[in-house]
Amino acid sequence: MKTLFALLIALMALFSSGCATQVHQDYPKYLANNEGRVSFPNVGRPALYHLDEATSSHSLKIKSWMAGIANSWTVQFGDVLDATMRGQDMQESFVSLSKTYRIKDTAELILLFHLYHYNFENFHASIVMTISAHSHGNQILSKRYASEGISQGGKMFWGGAFGMKNAVQQSTKHALDKILTSFLNDLNRALSANVAGDGAASIIAMDLMAIWEMSDEASNAG
């Protein structure tokens, strides 16, 4: 009877208390520790970037039975994307790259981010966003990108609450790196077309993979 009572007390403590972790707060440190693991395409131009309100204010609170349901992990996606754009790996792709809080029509190159979806479930992160590029007021690229990060089931199972933060960071980085790599390749093609004289050139497209993923998500939801 005493053993059962002690077990009930332990379960009550488990469900009534826990830690709230801000995953984004040390994301810059996480990027610094993993510097050089991704090689982004070289753009070789100065650029500005801008996050719209939906992107900068997006907040996700994650709960996991495997990592302890009393715990929570919060991700401010705008902070994660900011850290990525300011990180050494991304900075090396540009002559200079800095944030602007307003869209400047006179900018040689400005990158605009709009987040549609960010989540962490089924052991991995998923991201859907539109990124557009403007040069001297002309849109040269606008495309929706979708990506999923590498699964972190093993880390969550064996690491529990201690491994959860790293699991979220790693899967989010993997998904975001794939999107940014695809975008920079598209950007280089758009810039080449613009230099060739097609000043009004605009790439407005969606990858077949993104279409398939969203169609599959809709089917699963139904």
Residue 211 pLDDT > 80: no
> Residue 12 falls within a domain, yes or no?
no
SS3 213: helix
> Residue 172 falls within a domain, yes or no?
yes
Quote the pTM value: 0.76
> Residue 123 falls within a domain, yes or no?
yes
Residue 215 pLDDT > 90: no
> Residue 11 falls within a domain, yes or no?
no
Crossing angle (nearest 10°) for helices 153-195 and 77-86 = 60
> Residue 10 falls within a domain, yes or no?
no
Q: Per-residue pLDDT tens for 184-199? A: 999 999 999 987 654 4
Tokens of 92: 């090396």
Range of weakest confidence among 92-101, 106-115, 138-147, 211-220: 211-220
Sorting pLDDT into bands at 50, 70 and 90, what band is 157? very low
Residue type for 27, please? Y
Residue 161, domain CATH: 3.40.50.10610
Helix ranges (H only) for the chain are 2-16, 27-33, 53-56, 77-86, 88-91, 153-195, 208-221
> Residue 2 falls within a domain, yes or no?
no
Q: Per-residue pLDDT tens for 22-75? A: 667 799 999 999 999 999 999 999 999 999 999 999 987 776 555 456 677 788
Residue 169 pLDDT > 60: yes
> Residue 6 falls within a domain, yes or no?
no
Residue 212 pLDDT > 70: no
Sorting pLDDT into bands at 50, 70 and 90, what band is 9? very low
> Residue 7 falls within a domain, yes or no?
no
| Number of domains the chain contains | 1
Q: Domain range holding 127? A: 18-221
